Amino acid sequence: MTTTRLHHLLDAQRAARPDATALIDHDGTRHSYVRLADAVDRIAADLAARGLGPGDRLLIVAENCAALAGLILAASRLDAIGVPVNARMTDHELRRIAQHTDARLTVFLSNVSPPAASHAGTAGAAPWATPLGDLHITGAIPAATPEPVVSGSGQVAVILYTTGSTGTPKGVMLSHANLLFGGQTSARMRGMTSDDLILGVLPMTHVFGLTSMTVASLAAGATLRLFPRFSAAAVLEALQAGASVLPAVPQMHALVMAEAAARGLDRLPAGRLRYVSSGAAPLDPDWKRRAEAFYGVALQNGYGLTETTAGVTLTTNPPGVPDVSVGPALPGVELRLRNVGPDGVGEIQTRGPHVMPGYFRNPEATAAAFDSDGFLCTGDLGRIDAAGNLQVVGRARELIIRGGFNIYPPEVEAALNDHPRVIQTAVIGRKIAGGNEEVLAFCQTDDPTGTSENDLRQHAAARLSAYKCPSRIIVTTALPTSPNGKILKQQLIETFREELEDGNDRQGCARSPTAT
C-alpha cells in the first residue's frame, strides 16, 4: 500500500495486527486497531452523509480522547481537513477561529470535556452518537468553501492555530506529507515499536502531541494511552504501572517530580520506562541532571514549532551527558543561521519535508515566513556548536537589551531554575524610561512561603553577570500556561500586575548594569 494519507497508517496496522491495542481512552476503554479503524469508517460515512466532503474543514473542539484521533483520521479518509482546537479557549477565541476556518461542520467532544459541552450548548449543537463516544455536532454550513484537493501526500491534512496569536487568527496548514514525515521520523528516532506503551499527556490540538505522540504511535503500531488533561499524579501512577515512553514538556516533568517528592520518592522505581523526551521550552544542566536521576534514563531534548510539524532537531545522548542543546538537525532536514552576530547567534532557518505549505488563506503571512531560498524564517535565535548541535537562545522578539547588552531569557531562566525550590521560571523584558529595558522573572516554586525574592536574587547574583540579573523576581505557585504546558509570557505582566506594582522601586543585582 502506498502511504499518502494519515488513515493509510491505520489501515496498515488493521491489516497487520488487528487485535493489538491502538488506544486506551480517557475512561480506560481499549480500542484495538481493527476496532479503531472500523469506528473511523463509520464516523467518516456519517460525516459524509452530513455534508462533509473533500477540501472541507472539520472543526473539532476537543481535549484528548479516542474520538479526537478518530475524527482526524475520518477527515483524512474523506480528503477533508481536520482543525482540532482546544476546548478550554473562550467563546470569543473559538468564535474567531470558527469564522476564520470557514468549517463545513463543527464537532464538540462533550463526552470528555466540560468546556466542549459548554461550547456545544452555546452553538446549539445536536447530540451525535458515535462508536467512540456521544458527542455534539452542528448542522452543515452550506456557504463553506472547499479548498482544492491534490493527489499524493501534498494534500492539507490539518490546520493548527498557533497559541497566543493576536489580530486575525493564524492557521498553520500541515500536509499529509508533513505529518507522515514527522510521525515516522519521530517513531524511528525514538526507537518506538509495537511493544511500547506511550503516555499521551500532550494535547493533540498541539503539534507536538499530534505528530510526535499520536502519529508516531500509529506509525510504530504502539499503544497510546490518552489523558484529557495533564495530571502529575496520574502520570506518575501510569509510569509505575508500566508505561515505556513519555513525551512531555519541561513543566510537566517538573510537576511529576514534585508529585513524587511529595510522596517521598526521590526517583522512579525501575519499570518499563525507556525513553523520555522534552520539548517546547529550554533545559538547564542541573534540572536535566535531576530529571535523569529521577527517571533513570536519558532525557532527550528537541526543537521545533507548529510550522515545522514539531521536529527540526533532536538529541540522542546517553544518560549523564550535560549537553542541553536541542541536538543536530533530523535526517532530511536542512538547518542554517541567518545574520549571525559576533557571539555566533543568528536567526534559525530550516527547509525540508517537515515545513508547512503555508498559513490558511493568508498569502501575505506565508510569503513573509519564507526567504528567497525557500527556508522558513523561524524568528528564533540560536547558535550551532562545533559538534553541529543547535543551541536555542530565545525568540528574536524576546531578546532583552539592557544597558546596551543583549540578554537572552533562557540563560536567566536556567540560572533561576537551578534553585532547588524552583519548578519553572519565565523571564521577560519590559520597557522603562530612557529606552532601556528591565528584566522581570516569574518563578513557580514548591513552597513560596519558604522562598523569598531576596533568596532568589542572591541565587541569581552568584550565577549571572550583574546586567543579566532580574530587576524583579515574582514568586508564585503557578504561572499562566497553555494546554500543552507552555508558559504564556504575554500574560505575565497582567497576571502579576499587582505584585509588580508593589515594590516597583526595587532593582536587580546592580543599579546601573555594566558588563562583567
Domain ranges of the chain: 6-178, 230-334+374-395, 399-501
Q: pLDDT 10s digit of each residue in the chain, 516 long?
A: 689 999 999 999 999 999 999 999 999 999 999 999 999 999 999 999 999 999 999 999 999 999 999 999 999 999 999 999 999 888 888 998 999 999 999 999 999 999 999 999 999 999 999 999 999 999 999 999 999 999 899 999 999 998 543 456 799 999 999 999 999 999 999 999 999 999 999 999 999 999 999 999 999 999 999 999 999 999 999 999 999 999 998 878 888 999 999 999 999 998 999 999 987 667 778 788 889 999 999 999 999 999 999 899 999 999 988 888 999 999 999 999 999 999 999 999 999 999 999 999 999 999 999 999 999 999 999 999 999 999 998 877 788 878 667 787 888 998 898 898 888 899 999 988 666 789 999 999 987 777 899 999 999 998 888 888 999 999 998 999 877 677 888 899 999 999 998 764 444 443 223 332
Asked whether the CA dihedral 321, 326, 330, 333 is positive or negative, the reply is negative
Within the chain, what is the greatest distance between any pair of CA atoms? 69
The reply to whether 399-501 shares the fold of 6-178 is no
Q: Please report the pLDDT score of residue 516 as a whole number.
A: 26
| CA Rg value for the chain | 23
Topology of the domain covering 6-178: Rossmann fold (3.40.50)
Alpha-carbon separation of residue 466 from 100, 200, 264, 342, 345 (angstroms):
47, 42, 38, 21, 21
**The architecture CATH gives domain 399-501:** 2-Layer Sandwich (3.30)
Cα dihedral 448, 452, 457, 459 in deg (nearest 10): -70
Q: Please report the pLDDT score of residue 435 as a whole number.
A: 63
Look up residue 342 and give its three cell numbers: 559576533
Judge: domain 230-334+374-395, CATH 3.30.160. Answer: no
**Is the distance from CB of 317 to CB of 360 less than 8 angstroms?**
no
Q: Please report the pLDDT score of residue 449 as a whole number.
A: 77
Q: Please report the pLDDT score of residue 511 as a whole number.
A: 28
Q: Please report the pLDDT score of residue 94 as a whole number.
A: 92
**One-letter-per-residue 3-state SS of 405-443:** EEECHHHHHHHHHCCCCEEEEEEEEEECHHHCEEEEEEE
Whole-structure pTM value: 0.84
